[in-house]
Each structure stands twice: as structure tokens, then as C-alpha cells.
Structure 1
Amino acid sequence: MASTTNIETATQAIPRPEHPRPDWQRSGWLNLNGEWAFRFDADDIGLSEQWQTIEQASYDAKITVPFSWVSPLSGIGDNRKGIAWYSRILRFDEIASGEKLFLHFGAVDYTAIVWVNGIQVGTHSGGYGAFSFDVTDAWQAGDVNRIVLRAEDQDHAYQTRGKQGYGETRGIWQTVWLETRASSYIEAVRIVTKLDGTIEISGTAESAGASQATLSFDFDGGRVRNEFKLTLIAGTTSFRTTIQVSEPRHWSPEDPFLYEGTIRLSANGSTDTIGTYFGIREIGSALFDDRNYKWITLNGKPTYLSGTLDQAFYPVGHFTAPSDQELQDEIWRLKRLNLNFVRIHIKPEEPRKLYWADKLGILVMEDMPCFWGEPDETARAAYEAEAKEILDRDYNHPSIISWVVFNETWGLFTKRDEVRSFLPETQEWVRSVYRWAKSEDSTRLIEDNSPCNWDHVESDLNTWHFYKNGYQILRDHVQEVVDKTFPGSDFNYIGGNVQSDAPLMNSECGAVWGIEGSAGDSDLAWQYRYMINELRRHDKMCGFIFTEFHDVVNEYNGYYRIDGSDKDFGYDAFVPGMSVADLHSPDFIVIDAPPCRTLDVGQQAEIALLRSSYSERYHGQTLRLEWELWYDSLGGKAVSSQGTQAIEWNGYGVVPLDNVTATMPSVDSLAVFAVTLRDSQEKTVTRNFITFDVRSGDSNGAYDLEGKWLSVPVSQYARHEWPHAWHALNDHKINGGSEGFVEYEIKLPAEAIAEGIGHIEAVFEAGAKVILVKDRDKSIEKGIDLDFMSGYTPDPELNPSTYYMTDEDRKPSLAKVSIDGQYVESLSLPDDPADSRGALSWHYQQRDNKLEEAGSYGYLHKVSVPSRLIPAIVLAGGFKLRLEVSGEIPALAGGLALYGRNAGRYPIDLLVRYW
């Protein structure tokens, strides 16, 4: 960076100090992020009073650029729309004779007028496109200079807004910088790569006059080079050349190799140098074998897109990441999940994030931002101009494999006579935008409209959205879509248009909207596993996009919390070492069965398995499938049956394997059918599981316990006192909190007393119980009117489906156990969790589209009655068992939940064992 003195912020740290365009970087530049003077113009008097010329001291606030004036990091935090002015005084003298100086704005929402030293240097409209102005003639070298920007954001219906309701991006919201260029310079370059190493480069150069120039390309440490003469004319000169890379190394998520280097234009004794890079890769679709449907291909081979929807929202910076490290970490966290794909939702991403996707290896589907009004002439013109800016800026990123030009028909409806319609003329406009994008960029997959209304027009991808909950509902839905997808089908298309052989994939899925009033903040692990199984069992399917990467303002269905903290899916409790990453393996074992079935003890179950392969890594090898049916014997793992299966792992797609027959345990249990696929080096390829609720039919249950026992339903207590108490899951779970007690009167069988009792033990499942707002006042359980697309944020505790998924935030409690009024011990209840481990709380949900404490579970506890109390108990024929949570330690006054036979993790009620 050239040395300079920033008059106002020389001693202050610059936010987002890195160069904003690693893909297009000149060495002579100055980052202008940091403190700017700021002033709202509520009455729109700034232009008439010429605020671009008044003293900067008259600006009444300071703002931190590059953050939207609405965001906390801006220092303003004001949600108002309208007009605001920015002013910055600085000195920048590192401009060589004959050089040009450009002022760059990464993005300003929505219209901008810019002055330098009182001279208007340019205007721009559009909230997402980058723009720059030549300020050479207005700049005063050797003196201080003043930059003034007037930003106006009125939320007009024609503006491209996307999902800014999560947090507005008003005004400047990406990096501002100065850049020096030679008098003759490279304006733009497009790089197209071929798998054989052919690199096609086209571009334009700008020059003040005619001259001879040399254009050179130097990449990969000098191993990839080309140079040729170029005759420049006054104005714009186009050029085109080809470079041949020997032994090309293909870019992919597994090997994101970049050819880094420079492009130089030398003319009139000066040189313009651009630091950039490219990755050699091809994205497309192709027919394989005898199939009549295409698969998506990367570098000529089938690839399964395991992806997620990324709203790219940050609570403190809104659509501007607080740091470059945050952007890098996001790509790392995607890869940690074993995902290979991300859809950046209804906005072009910051170039720095695309850089990290290029560098670390994530495939990207990038959306064009939508407008929210009707598709009139003004909206169409504004959209088309901005779409071109976005495509031009991001064209060279190897990570981007697809452009989505519209989403869910937003902005495409016209209202006539109170009826909203996607009119035929609008459909033709969508087709024209698709074809424009295809003509501009034939190297990528173009999607006309990512639909939730079955309304494709013309597209390279046949996608659809679904938000369904419930295994059978979801299974039937996916099967229907697959069955109706074939060339010539009019399914999922509108206006007489029909399907081509475009690949079928899902472009949004999940359970957040498949529930009445949304799923609130609840477990997603249970549904996610069986959803992935349903998608992977279809040979025609090429991928999915799960909603979403991390929680956002009013959607709590992310893999991560909004702050990046982890959620616990609980899969490793079923298959050691398993995580959500196993479900994203390109080589996968599908268990073609429900997530849980109820069977009798000793019953046999035939389980269908499929292999799904979209990687050649193991083709030609023999892999080993290990399976076992196991259960928790109330204290340890017991294996009921097990086996192995050698699999010749050849070819792409979905192929049936030999069915497995497993025999259920002889006791009441939650049995787990777990599979692990291993390679010849014993490395785990993927894991999967399903469960069974195994029932004996005995009223007291059959368990791996010595002695005898009786089973007391948890709802059959004698007394309880809580500020808030209720039953759930059809009386198989009782809740109390935040402090209080529940007491049971245990009557021992007369024959047991007669035979003699020397030991008594209580076995039960208990957890803490966080009391939510909806729990304190049941009368508020009602439909919540939510404007989700505008980012309205209700309290998730009001949502009737909310039961917080297990995460890093623990909610502990401490329960004291007493027998006949005498203290016995204290039980640590570490949390009030909900995830896939709460299998019975999922299995016995009454309704698929409304959750009741779904996935919740507790911890297995065994409390021995002290021997000193047993004589009195025998004499009385029973005893009182009390579980109490006190408020003595407020941090541990987290209430109590007790789980019965059809709830939680263990298929038991309150068991009293004696011998």
C-alpha cells in the first residue's frame, strides 16, 4: 500500500483493511474504510444547500465505513430509510506523473452521487453492484482532498433488495478505496478454462491515445506465460488470446488449486499490473449410461451437490462481514460439515468471501438480488443493469458454478383485480433474462427461477423447494417429484413450457416452514437424517440445498447458531464417531426405512440398503459394510445381532445392496441399526443408522435388570408443587419449573416384602427443564402473524413448536432426591437437551406439522435407597420418593423433566427395582 496520511483517522485501526478484490488487485491503493463524517438529510435539502461544499464540521455524526448505517458496527444504528451524506478528508500523494486515480465503491445502497473537492465525479444506482470513478482531474496532489457521497435508499418497489429485512444495507456497505493506474490500463478480463489446459482470455484496455503495447500473462511462478503485442486506440481496445497449460491441475473442492499470477499491460513507458488468478474447471451436465436424465458434472464427472442456503447475514454488520477472518471461517465451517456447495441467497457475495471459496474449495450458486414490487419497466431496467454489474464483477471466480436469476417468483407477480399472477409476458421476460445470462456466460449453469410455485420457464437446472415434516409425507413428496420429472413433462413448469433433460436437484429444503407457525427454535437433527436418506435414494437426484447454514433473524434451523457456535446433532450416540458430515459423503449408504419403527421383542426386520456414489475415489475397490443392531441395556451397550457385507464399489449412481435381516432384542429397548462403511485401509467412509422401539407388551416392561421391578408411569405422582407444571407427549413426560418438587408414593408388592428385600433402586430418565414464555402462560399459544421475509423477529419462546436444540449453551439444574423425607443424594442435570437422541419424543409425536417438545430427552439415573432406610420401608410396605429443585443456587434452579415409556431416550417409566 502506498504511504499516505489520513487526516482524520491516522491513529485509528481500519476495519476490513484487506484489499477487497484479491481476484483483481493493483499494488497502488489506499483503503478508505474507517471513520467518515455523516449526516442524515431527512428533508432532502442537501443538494439545494450544496452540502458537498459546506464545512465537514457541519456534519453532526461519525460513521464507520464500510458498515450500513443501520448496523451496530457503523456506530449509527438507525433503521431509517432516506438520504444520508458522507464526508472524508484525506491526503494521498503517491500518484506518479501520468498515472490515473480511481475511487472505488464495493457497494452503496441504493443511489449514489460522489464529489471530490466539490466536483461531481459520478453517479450510480443499484444496491449490490461495484462501481468506480476516474477522479484524476478532481484530485489535488500535494494537498488535502475531500470526498463526499450522497446516498439515497427509499425502498422503492423497483429496487433490488433481496432479504434486507434481516438487516438493512443502507448507504455504503462494502469497502471504499483509492487506486492508481497507468495511463493505459486493463479495464476488464474474462477467463474461460478448458480441462485440456486451454485458457481463453478476453478483455478490454483503456488508453488516452493510440500506441503500441505489450500484454503479458505470468502465472504459477512463471510456468504459465504468454506475451503479445497489442495496438491500442484512443478509448477502448478489445483483445483475445489463448494460453496452453501443460499437465493442467483441475480445480475442485477436494483440490482447490489456483493458478496465481499477474496480467501486465506495458505502453508509453509505464506498466499496469493486475494481480489475479484462475482455476481450471468445467461445470456442466451430461447423460450417463442408458439414463434419459442428466447429472450435474464437475470436470466431466458426476458430482452430487451437498449444499446449504447462506443468507450471509451478520447481526453486527448485517450484510457486511465484521472481518475477513469471519469470511474465511465460514468457508472452513462449510467444509467441516463435509459440504461441497453453498447457495448465496438473493444477493451477490462479498468478493472476499468468493475468494475464500476459490482458495479453500466450495462450489457456489450465486443469486441475483430481487426486487419486491411488480415487474414494470422501471424494475426490469434497474434489475438488468445490476445483474450485468454482478455477473461482470464475479465472472472469473472458479467457485461459482451457477447463477440464479430469480427466486420463488419474487418480484414477478402482477396484481390485477386483487389477483396476483405470473403473467405470460413476465414469463417471457424471465426467459429473456435466462438467455441473456446464458449468452453472457455459457460456462455455468443458469437457473431461470428457483421455484416454490412449480413455475420454471427455461432453465439449465430443474429445481424445486420443499418444506415438509414427517417421514411419510416427505418420502411421498420426493417420490412424486422424481416420478413426474422426465423430458417433456409439464410438471414444475408454467405457461405451456415443459421439462428438458436438465438435471433434477432440490434448491431449498428443510422443516422450518413445514410446521404450523414455523418450527421455531427446535431440533433439526432427526428430520435432517431421514430427509438426506430420502434424497440420496433416488438415482435421478443431483443434490440438495438445506435451509440453512446458520440461524438467522427469525429462522433457527441452521447447522450452527447465528454466532457460529455448534449445535449437537447427537448422531455419535447411535454410531460412534458419526456426525452430520457423514450424511454428506459422496459415497453413502442409504438405509431405505423409516427413522423409527415399533416392533415386538424378538421380531425380525428386513432392512433395505442402497449404495449411492458420486465419486470415483473407491471405484474398482471392495468396501466393507459393517452393521449391528444394538441397544442400551440401561447402563451399557448390548449387541443383539451384527454382520458384514463386502461391496464391489463400481460405478456412479444408486444401486440396491443385499437386504439385511436383524433380530430385535428380547427386552424393551430403543434398538439402533447402525452401519459403517470402511475402505481397505479401515478408514471410515460414511456412517448411518435407524432405530426401533422394541416392546415386550409387559405392563412393567422387560429389561436387562437383575431382581424384580415395578414400573410407575411418570404422570402418576402423588403430589407436586411448581410455579409452572404440565404434562407433554400424551402424559409420557412431566415438566416442572423453575423450582419445586414432585413426589411419588411407591407401593411394594406384598409377595416381594414377604420374600424379603435387601436392596431397592429407582431407575428413571430426568433432565433439566427450561421454562419458556409459552410455558409460563399457556394462553399465548396461538398463531403468530409473522412477516418473515421482512425480518420481523418474534420471541422464539412464543412459538408453540420451540424446544431449543442442544448446543453449547447449557441449561443445568440440580435435583435433590429424598426418601421418606430423608435426603439421599443430588442429581446433576447438565442440560435440557433436544436432538436426535430424543428418538422416542420424535417417534411419538402426535402431529407431523406441529411439534410438542420434539427430540427432548434426559439422562439415565439410578438412585440406590440407603440400607438404613429399608427396614422402615419394608414395614410400611412402600416409600415416598421426592425429586426437588430448590432456588438455593439460582444458576442450578433449572426445573425438572421426567420422561416416561414413550418419551425421551430410554423406553422406561419410573422403575423401582428390588431384590
Structure 2
Amino acid sequence: MLRFSIYLCLLLFGLQTLTAQTNIPLPEHPRPDWERANWLNLNGDWEFRFDKEDAGLKQGWGKGTQKFPLTIHVPFPWGAPLSGVKDEADIAWYQRTISIPKDWKGQRVFVVIGASDYKTTVWFGGKELGSFEGGYVPFEFELPLTSLKAGANQKLVIRVDDKRREYALYGKQGYGNARGIWQTIYLEARANDYLETLHFTPDIDKGKVQVTATLPQPASQDLALKLNIAGVSAPVSQTIGKGQTQLSFEVSIPDFRLWTLENPHLYEVEATLGGDKIKSYFGMRKISVVNLPGTNFPYVALNNQPIYLQIALDQSYHPEGFYTFPTDEFMKNEIKLAKDIGLNGIRTHIKIDVPRKLYWADKMGLLIMSDLPNFWGQPNAEARAESERVLPQLIKRDFNHPAIFSWILFNETWGLKTKVEENGKKVDRYLPETQQWVASMYRKAKALDPSRLIEDNSICCGAGHTETDINSWHEYLPGYGWEDYLKNLTTKTFEGSTFNFENGYKVGRQPNINSEFGNVWGYDGSSGDVDWTWDYHRSVNTFRKYPLVAGWLYTEHHDVINEWNGYFKFDRTQKFTGLDAFVPGMSLKDLHADIYVTTGQDISHSVRPTEVVQVPLTISAMTGRTDLGKELTLKVELNGWDAFGQAKKWQSFTKKIPYSPWIQQAIAPLYVVMPSEKSVAVLALTLQDANGNILSRNFNMYIIEKPQAAEIVTASGEKQRLLTIAPNKFSDAKWSMKQWDVLDGLKVNGAGSGYFEYKIKWPTDLKADNVSGASFIMEASAKQLFGKDKSGDVKIADNYMLGGGTFDNSLNPNSYPMTDETKFPSDVAISFNGIAAGKLNLPDDPADHRGVLSWHYQPQNRKLREAGSYGYRLEVNVPNEAIQKAIQTGELVLRLAVEGNGGLAIYGEKFGMYPFDPTVIVKVK
């Protein structure tokens, strides 16, 4: 009975400990790649105090004798909503009581902080343990044995000084500062001799992995290092001799399993050094550069196979946690979101990311480009020293993550330009001595990690490369600019060329990557929040014609406060592309398919009725698949909607096209006869294998331009008279917020409550005895009053990266927010000659790929005018009483009224989705 009671007490204690560990934010061990069993998570509520006057040091706050008035939710940075405190000062203090578990007695105890920005000082039991500078990498302090009282409550106090320093690696924290502790803080027990690092460098060509173990100080005695590698039968044992701090050796991995994007196998490791035990892992994979088969084009290779990089720029921000994600599940979902749309990588941008997010990339199979954050001052000695200090710490922490394939040292030459005087003016210049330092940083990174690719500077805006493993560049263009740009770039890029390189440096055998693109900066003053899929479709179509470009990196994974070009919104809810409206089942994954048929840059064309159109085709197969035979089937369908917005199917056929692994070539074009009627035609292309499995989908669109006849005869023989009116030809309008036109009246908008009224002349030959009824069709949507459309001067700060800009996704003059999960509905009441015809719901004010005509008729002048916006096809019957009144008065008065604040937008034949103006269709006997 006594034994059972003891067991029950231990069980209850264990449950209480588990509850304490899980009832806190981010309870999981922060580093699955470097985990000791004896650890205690210190996340949760801490006492907190700002130190606006910087008086805490003088007043001895580190002693822990004073109560702090606020409570902060660690590890969320102060100022982030999830922290529970506002940003009120550059210096702040944290404190809480901690209790060292009794079973840790006799072990060394450390407090470990995953990251804290910027200078962090720690006190324990009233004694200062030390300070650390840096905002992104982990650091630790040992709790002195003389101060440890197992089981007793003792005070831990932390001061963080986050004053702005020009040399500090600040990154893009203007999007949300990482102030103070922003990664998990925990206690950890270790043996007297313990491992500082255990790095694994796989060699798949030899079936081995090189293991390098380091100790923080010389071994006090001969120590046995034992490794148990899951899936490898025999444990490995090596000896670190007394006085040594490092040991390297190779371990054979027989019949090893590769780490691939499809099957990202991880070898779990248990390492024991005396009394120190570590859990870690590694992946058997190789990063190198090989030629795309059949070409001399260098490509990044994973496991000796070229990989066409399709990557998203990942700002890695959260709207409420800023640098810190709220849960582990959220981090896992970040990786899932990227994989679900067919990407094979992300670039963590100007931020050293959270280890658990990297873990999920390792676990789920997604490549990572990892950036060293930038400083914003000039490249003086202090700034250089900071980059040189942090780079080894970054590589040290993240060495074992197989997902990481490259380190990027600098971005767009931020922090690398020096102010010099030229012709009496101060100008910024990327000086040769700075270039030489950047090249030395490349060599330093290469020495620290020869197993990955190193990028000296992800270049933009006139700057070039020095020494680099990747020839990258940034280019933001409207969708119509890609063909000319890539044709020019590929002509100038070859081994030995100096294009995109600084003086004294030249192109070698580097993969060529367009490492940032998107329409967010492609239009004057940026595009704000728009339908990005139209330009994206054009650009991806063009990239696949130029295989010298070994991949691309799209800006961006998710929206942030000044850039709304994300695949997902800032809160990670969905945006809707509308692609499946053109080819059933089509999604972004089709635009990222390994085997892709492209029709080129232009995805919409004005054509004549019955015109025979030549459709160019290029097949781009970025895969070594050998199971598909020598031919694939291209299913071709010409569908769309006619001049009344009704769905039509005109023709379909199939075409055999050649296939071989890694094929990149133009193939025989299609010849397609266009419809004879005014319409929007979609040429849907579905690529299938011999078993009918869909490999990818694509499409091209054709606007058949033809004047609309005033009278038609339907297929059933019914005569119809069409009374059309342009959207801007209203006779009266009154709106509570605003009324305005787009592109000379191709679309008209009314925001708030109000009405548009149209007076339509009734033909004199349409009498009571020859009219059997009438209906009315139009394309319309709700109309939200966006920031850009409000009265008053719009002032947009230009320091976007440091937190300036709009903070309003609709304020940019080019913006028209893309369709998402948040709807903006409106109800429009329709009447004719004062007689109600009904009230129709307009579900939203959308903008996406479905706004075909809104994109097609945009002027190409680097400005956007409600591009991508479109409406819903509405149809109502005209009441007979209204028809009789029109016959009598010679006029049909149409009123479209909104009572609430949903507004109304009316689309004409050259705007929106459907090619018709508002039209009354009169049935003639």
C-alpha cells in the first residue's frame, strides 16, 4: 500500500509537471536537433518593467528585491500583441522565481535563451551571470553551483537593452520589432564534461557521414563518445582524449535512405559523452551543382539530381507575435502551406528563423535558403565585426538541418554602401574595399560549411556579385515585361561574362536564379494589394521558356504590413486565384508542375471572329521520370462565355506531344479556329500521361471582339432586341461616400448607400402587340471604399523596410485587394419605371484571375486601374407594367439602389469578366 501511494504521488507529480510544461506558450523543446532530457521550459508569465530612464542598473534591479508592475507573456517580444505589453521603451527588465529540480543535484545547470534582441544581461540569486549581444542566436549562462538550492524558489532577473545600433543586425524589424526575449528560454542540466556541438556532414557518394564533436573546454579526462543512430545496427564509440576539445571521424551508413523532398528521411541520433546525453538527427543528402541534362546550364542539385527551384520569399512574420509564432502547429503549417501549392523551398528573409520551424522543413521535406540579417548603417569596422561574429553562430546552430541548402550573406547591398562626396554631393557607393570584404565573408562561410552553397549578396538595383556559388538577381516587373527581360538576360549570362558582377569578378559555373520577383514592386510606387495571379501566370509561363534560369523566388509566402503580394494573407487565411474557373481543378500547383506546357508570356489576346490562331507551345520537363514513355497527351478545349455571359463549349481535341526526361524545347504549335460570336474564349490545356493521369493544366484566353448587333435571333428562332447602355451613361447618381469612374467609364463605382439611374430610350417600333416580355442582364459587384479612393492627399512613407509605408492594403494607388476569405457583400434593389423588379445579393467586391477583361484592357504604363476586379452576372425580368409604361412614355428608367453601405460597381463590355454592357433584352413576337 505504501509502495502504491508513493507511485500515485509520483504519477500526480508527473501530471502536474506535464501540465506546467504544456500550459505555457510553445511548450515543446525548442531544438529537436539538440535536445537534452533534463530541461525545464521557462516560457509563460514573467514580471516585467520598462526602464525609460535607464535607471535599473544604478538602482540594483538585478538583485530581484523589487516587484515589477507589469506581466509579459514570454517568449513574445514586447510590443507584440501576444506579449500583453505595449512598446514603451528601449530597455526593459524581466524577473520570475525558478526552482531547480532536486534530481538535477550534482549536475551543472544553465539558463539558455533561444534569442533575445539585443544586449541581454542575466542575474541569478542577485548575482550577475553575464551579458550577450545579438538578436538572433542562442546564448547561455551557467548558474553558479554556490548559488544553487535544489527545490528552493530563487529569482532570475533579465535586462534587455534594445536601443537602435547602426551596426546591429536588425533586418526588417520595422515590420514588427523583435524586442527582448523572442524565443524559448529554458533551464538545462548537463554533466561536468558536455558536448557543445555535434555536426553531421553526410557523404552520399561514399555512404558515410562525417561526425565532428566539440567541447566548450578541454576534456577533464578521456571520454567515450557513443552514438546510437536509428537504423544503423552497430553503435559507434570514439574517445575524446583528456585535454582535447574536438574530434572528427566517419561513420558508414550501409543501405542508407536519402533525404528527399518526397521522402525526407531523418536519421535520429542519441549521443552520450560520459554523463551528457543528446538527441539530434541528420539527413543523408547532398547539395551540389550539376548541369541540366542535355545542356550546359548549371543547376542546384539535390542528391546529384538537378532541381528546378520554385521558392517563396518568407518574411517569417506573425501579425500578433511578430518574430515569434504562437504555436508549434502554426510553424508546421507554414511548411505545409508552401508544399501544398507545389513549392520546393522558402527563403527565410533577413531573419534567422526559429529552430522548430526549420525542424518541420526537415521533417516534411522543404528546402531552405537562410539569410544572415543585415545592418542598416554603413559598412564600418564595427558593422563588419558584427556580421563576422554572428555568421559562425548561425552556421553552428543550424548546421544539422538538411533542409538548408544555402547561406545568403547580404541582401540588395543593404548596409554595404558608403556615403562619399562626388561633385559636392553625398552619394552612396558600393566601394571596392567593401566588395573585397564581402568576398572574404563568402570564403569564411565556405570554410565553415563547405557542404552548402554560399551567396555573397542577393543583388538588386545596379549592384553586382563578387565571389558566389549562386548567380542571383532581383527583378520586379509587370507581367508584360518578362519576355524581353529574360531574352536579354540569358543572352548576356554565360561563363566568363561580367554581367551582374562587380569589376574584377565574373560569372563562373553558378546556377542562375531570379531570386526575387513579383508585381508588388513591378508597378510605380509598388502595387499594393492586387490580384497577383495574372502577372504571376505570365511570368511563370515565360520562365519555363528559358531553362538557363535554374529557378525563381517569388515575393512572397504571406503578406506583411507593407507588402500584400503573399500567396496567403498575413493571418495565413486563403486568397482565391480563380484559376479553376478556366480549367476545372486547376490550382497554383499546376503552375509549379514538374512537366509544364507553356504558351508564353501573353495569356490574353484580342482576335477576330473565326480567326485561325497559332498557339506556340513549349514543353518544360524539370524531372528525370522515365515511366511516362515517349509521348504525352495534350487535351485541348475551347470553352468560355458568350456576349450574354453564358457558358459555351466550342471545340475540343487531343494532340500527342514528345516527352523525354529533362526535355526543354519548343514543339509544334496548335492552330485553333476562334468562335464566330463576340465572346471570351478559354483555350484550356490539360497534359496527361498514357493512363489519363493529369500532369499539369494551363490555359490561354482570347477576346473575340465584335460589335454587338441591336437585334438577334436565338437558336430557337426567337427574335430579341438589345437595348445596351454603357456603364458611365447614367442619367443620375447619388452615393453617400463617393462616386467615380474607371478608365473613362469602362467601370463605374458608387460607395456607401445610393443609386445609379439610367434612362433607356424605348424604340418606337416596339409596341404592346409585338413585345412578349423583357429581361435585364448586367455584371456588378459590391464596392468597398478603399484607402486610395478616399478624399484627401495620400502620403506614403518610403522607408518600407523600416516600418514606413501605408499599413493599409488598399491605400496604394495601384491597389485593388485580392479576393480572400473576408467578404464585402451588398444588396442591390432593381426597379424599372419605379416598379420593383427584385433585390439581388452581390457577395463580394472581388479581384483575381477571373477579372480577365480588367487585366486585358489595362494600359501598359506601370500603373494599375482596378486590375483584376470583376462582378457577378445578374439577370432579372422587367415587370410587364414597366414595359407598358415604357411603351407609353418612350423611356425605360432603370434604377439600381443600395440601402446599406455595400456600394455598387457596374462593369462594361471591356471590364470585369463578361464581355457585355448592361443590357435590356426585349423578346419580340
Aligned to 2:799: 787
Match of 2:774 among 738, 743, 760: 760
Aligned to 1:287: 291
CA contact (8 A) 2:712 2:719 kept: no
Contact 1:530–1:595 (8 Å) recurs in 2: yes
CA distance in 1, matches of 2:89, 2:295: 55
How many Å apart are 1:229 and its aligned residue? Answer: 3.7
- Is residue 21 of structure 1 aligned with residue 31 of structure 2? yes
8 Å CA contact 1:729–1:903 kept in 2: the answer is: no
Distance 2:820 2:297 in 1: 41
C-alpha contact 2:796 2:805 (8 A) present in aligned 1: no
Residues 19/601 of structure 1: CA separation in 2 closer, same or farther (3 Å cut) = same
Shift in Å at residue 276 of structure 1? 1.2
Q: How much has 1:790 moved relative to structure 2? A: 0.9
Equivalent position amino acid for 1:293 in 2: F
1:221-300 correspondence runs (5 A): 222-234=231-243, 236-266=244-274, 271-289=275-293, 291-300=295-304
Give the aligned partner of residue 610 of structure 1. 618
Indicate conservation of the 8 Å contact 1:729/1:844, yes or no: no
Cα gap change, 1:764 to 1:121, in 2 (>3 Å) = same
1:273-305 C-alpha deviation (Å, 9 max, x unpaired): 211111111111112455333111111111111
Aligned to 2:574: 566
Structure 1 residue 127: Cα displacement: 0.9
Sequence identity percentage: 39
User: How far did residue 10 of structure 1 move?
Assistant: 6.2
Matched with 1:721 is 734
- Which amino acid in 2 is paired with 1:76? V
Aligned partners of 2:609 and 2:395: how far apart in 1?
61
Alignment partners' CA distance in 2, 1:337 and 1:725: 39
Q: Does 1:805 align with 2:818?
A: yes
More deviation, 484-493/648-657: 648-657
Q: Which has the higher mean CA deviation after the structures are superposed, 99-108 or 673-682?
A: 673-682
* Matched ranges for 1:853-892 at <5 A: 853-887=866-900
For residue 902 of structure 1, the aligned residue among 890, 897, 910 is 910
Q: What displacement does 1:124 show? A: 1.2
Name the aligned partner's letter for residue 531 of structure 2. Answer: D
Q: Which sits farther off after the overlay, 252-261 or 362-371? A: 252-261
Question: Secondary structure in 1 aligned to 2:436?
Answer: helix
Letter in 2 for 1:246: P
One-letter code of the match for 1:718?
Answer: S
Rounded to whole Å, the distance in 2 between the matches of 1:215 and 1:461 is: 38
Over 3 Å counting, the alpha-carbon distance change for 1:181 and 1:785 in structure 2 is closer
| Secondary structure in 2 matching 1:380 | helix
Deviation, 1:700, is: 4.9
Deviations 1:716-762 (A, max 9, x none): 22222223211112211111121111122222334444981212121
Call closer, same or farther: CA 1:510–1:613 in 2, change over 3 Å: same
Q: CA deviation at 1:897?
A: 0.9
| TM superposition shift of 1:337 | 1.1
Whether 2:200 is the aligned partner of 1:191: answer: yes
- How many angstroms does 1:95 deviate by? 4.3
- Tell me which amino acid in the other structure corresponds to 2:156: I
Q: Which residue of 2 is the match for residue 379 of structure 1?
A: 383
Aligned residue number for residue 4 of structure 2:
none
* Contact kept? 1:294, 1:501, Cα under 8 Å: yes
Alignment counterpart, residue 549 of structure 1, candidates 545, 548, 557:
557
Report the 3-state secondary structure (helix = DSSP H, G, I; strand = E; otherwise coil) of the residue aligned with 2:559: coil
**What is the DSSP-based 3-state SS (H/G/I as helix, E as strand, rest coil) of the residue aligned with 1:322?**
coil
Distance apart, 1:596 and its partner CA: 1.1
Partner amino acid for 2:666?
P
- Per-residue deviation at 1:612? 1.1
Q: Is the Cα contact below 8 Å between 1:628 and 1:674 reproduced in 2? A: yes
TM-score, scaled to structure 2: 0.93
Counterpart check, 1:511 vs 2:544: no
2:339 is aligned with 1:329: no
Correspondence list, 1:530-541, <5 A: 530-541=538-549
> Does structure 2 conserve the Cα–Cα contact (< 8 Å) formed by 1:109 and 1:127?
yes
* Unpaired segments ≥5 residues, structure 1: 888-892
Q: Structure 1, residues 354-400: CA drift from partner, whole Å, max 9, x if none?
A: 00111111100000011111111111111111111111000110000
Deviations 1:581-633 (A, max 9, x none): 21111221111251211111111111111111112235542321111222213
Q: Does the 8 Å contact 2:797/2:805 carry over to 1?
A: no
Give the CA deviation at 1:784.
Answer: 2.7
Q: Does residue 763 of structure 2 align to residue 749 of structure 1? A: yes
Aligned counterparts of 2:789 and 2:240: Cα–Cα separation in 1: 76
Deviations along 1:694-719, one digit per CA (max 9) or x if unpaired, are 11244659897853323221222222
Contact 1:361-1:399 within 8 A present in 2 as well: yes
2: CA distance between counterparts of 1:637 and 1:248? 55
Corresponding residue of 2:72: 63
Question: What code does the residue aligned with 2:538 have?
Answer: Y
Q: CA deviation at 1:227?
A: 1.9
1: CA distance, partners of 2:713 / 2:378: 65
Q: How has the CA–CA distance of structure 1 residues 878 and 12 changed in structure 2, closer, same or farther, with 3 Å as cutoff?
A: same
Question: Mean alpha-carbon deviation: is it higher for 139-148 or for 17-26?
Answer: 139-148
Match of 1:890 in 2: none
Aligned pair in 2 of structure 1 residues 224, 69: CA closer, same or farther (>3 Å)? farther
TM-superposed CA distance for 1:793, in Å, is 4.6
Q: Secondary structure at the match of 2:437?
A: helix
Once the two structures are superposed, what CA deviation does each residue of 1:75-102 show, in whole Å capped at 9, x if it has no partner? 2221532x22222211113444542212
Partner of 1:422: 430
Helix, strand or coil: the match of 2:771? coil
Contact 2:64–2:125, Cα closer than 8 Å, also in 1: no
Distance 1:703 1:283 in 2: 66
Q: What are the ranges of 5 or more consecutive residues in structure 2 without an aligned counterpart? A: 1-9
Residue 322 of structure 2 corresponds to 318
Q: Deviations over 1:523-550 (max 9, x none)?
A: 1111111111111211111111111111
Which residue of 1 is the match for residue 5 of structure 2?
none
One-letter identity of the residue aligned with 2:285: R
Cα 1:384/1:224, change in 2 over 3 Å: farther
- Pair 1:121-2:129 in alignment: yes
Match of 1:351 in 2: 355
The 8 Å contact of residues 64 and 155 in structure 2, kept in 1 or not, is answered as no
User: Does the 8 Å contact 1:602/1:665 carry over to 2?
Assistant: yes
Match of 1:674 among 654, 668, 684: 684
**Alignment CA distance shift 1:12-1:300 (3 Å):** closer
Given candidates 624, 632, 654, the residue that maps to 1:644 is 654
Specify whether residues 225 and 316 from structure 1 end up closer, same or farther in structure 2 by C-alpha distance, changes over 3 A only.
Answer: farther
In the alignment, structure 1 residue 655 sits paired with structure 2 residue 665? yes
Task: State the match for 2:706 in structure 1.
Answer: 696
Query: Which residue of structure 1 lines up, in the alignment, with residue 442 of structure 2?
Result: 434
Q: Which residue does 2:6 correspond to in 1?
A: none
Partners of 1:898 and 1:19 in 2: CA distance: 55
User: How many residue pairs get matched?
Assistant: 898
Q: CA deviation at 1:352?
A: 0.5
8 Å Cα contact 2:575/2:818 also seen in 1? yes
| Aligned match of 2:3 | none
The one-character-per-residue Cα deviations of 1:303-325 (angstroms, maximum 9, x if unpaired) are 11111111111121110111111
What is the alpha-carbon distance in structure 2 between the residues aligned to residue 421 and residue 865 of structure 1?
69
Work out whether 1:772 is the aligned partner of 2:786: yes
How far apart, CA to CA, are the structure 2 residues paired with 1:737 and 1:808? 21
SS in 1 for 2:411: coil
Give the superposed CA RMSD. 2.3
Structure-2 change in CA distance of 1:836 and 1:495 (3 Å): same
- CA gap 1:711/1:97 in 2 versus in 1, 3 angstroms: closer
Residue 837 of structure 1 aligns to a residue whose secondary structure is coil
**Contact 1:32-1:175 within 8 A present in 2 as well:** yes
Counterpart residue type for residue 681 of structure 1: N
- SS for the counterpart of 2:837 is strand
